[in-house]
Amino acid sequence: MAAKKAKRPRAKRPASKPAAGTKRAAAKPAAGRGAKASARASRKKATSGFEAAAEAERFAADLFARGEVAEKAGRSLPAGVTHEVVGRDGSGRPKLRRRRFSTV
């Protein structure tokens, strides 16, 4: 005859009231998509057109430096490539389109 295993005592549930001297977190009001979007927008840093253009150029330069861009690759992309050049703008800068993500 097998001996019964002793039951382990359960962990106690947290009390419904906070411990003395602590504050309870304020309940968040139910919000729709608009409230989430406005909260997200308020956290973003405002940038001017010049700063945005400079960021875009730096991003493209970094992609080219890492070898993650292919010129008109067609149907399949080479290994390690995440973006494709789909054209050029008026000043000759490449227009990039992301084709896949990199996990590395």
**For residue range 18-77, what is the model confidence (pLDDT) as tens digits?**
666 666 666 555 555 555 666 666 666 667 888 888 898 999 999 999 999 988 767 788
pLDDT computed for residue 25 by the predictor: 61
pTM comes to 0.51
Residue 20 resides in a domain = no
Residue 61 resides in a domain = yes
Q: CA-based diameter of the chain, in Å? A: 87
Q: Can you name the residues that pair with 55 across neighbouring β-strands?
A: none
- Tokens 């977190």 sit at which residue? 25
Residue 71 resides in a domain = yes
How many domains are contained in the chain? 1
Residue 37 resides in a domain = no
Structural domain of 54 = 48-98
C-alpha dihedral over 78, 81, 84, 88, to 10 degrees? -110
